[in-house]
């Protein structure tokens, strides 16, 4: 768990990081996704490397239909699991496409 101590806090007092901030600390960008990918497919792929907190593919509306934009985001539970997943899956060929995976620690 990450802790932030604010200057205004009393000496020795600790302030917990808001949950939305800590959840995104291990968020991975996943690009060059095949067109038939959905959230559950992405979650299943990454769950082989640790606990997946969230997995989302990004869609856009084109005319009257929704289409995959070719990328998504996966949030892992720990930094170690995040690094394991990035190392194992970056540049892997899945359904004819090389995955582009990026992670920058916050």
pLDDT tens digits for range 52-99: 999 999 988 888 887 788 999 999 999 999 999 999 999 999 889 999
Whether pTM > 0.95 for this model: the answer is no
pLDDT at 25 over 90: no
What's the chain's length in residues? Answer: 106
Question: With 60 as the cut, is the pLDDT of residue 7 above it?
Answer: no
Q: Domain 19-102 adopts which CATH fold?
A: Alpha-Beta Plaits (3.30.70)
C-alpha dihedral (93, 77, 106, 92), degrees to nearest 10: -10
Domain map of the chain by residue range?
19-102
Task: Read off the tokens for 30.
Answer: 């996943």
User: Residue 77: what are its φ and ψ, rounded to 5°?
Assistant: -75, -35
């Amino acid at each position: 768990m990450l802790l932030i101590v604010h200057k205004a806090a009393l000496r020795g007092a600790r302030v917990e990081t808001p949950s939305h901030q800590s959840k995104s600390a291990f968020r991975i960008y996943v690009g060059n996704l095949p067109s038939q990918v959905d959230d559950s497919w992405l979650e299943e792929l990454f769950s082989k490397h640790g606990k997946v907190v969230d997995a989302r593919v990004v869609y856009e509306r084109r005319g009257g239909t929704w289409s995959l934009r070719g990328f998504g985001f996966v949030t892992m539970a720990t930094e170690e699991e995040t690094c394991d997943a990035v190392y194992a899956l970056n540049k892997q060929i899945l359904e004819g496409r090389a995955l582009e995976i990026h992670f920058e620690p916050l």
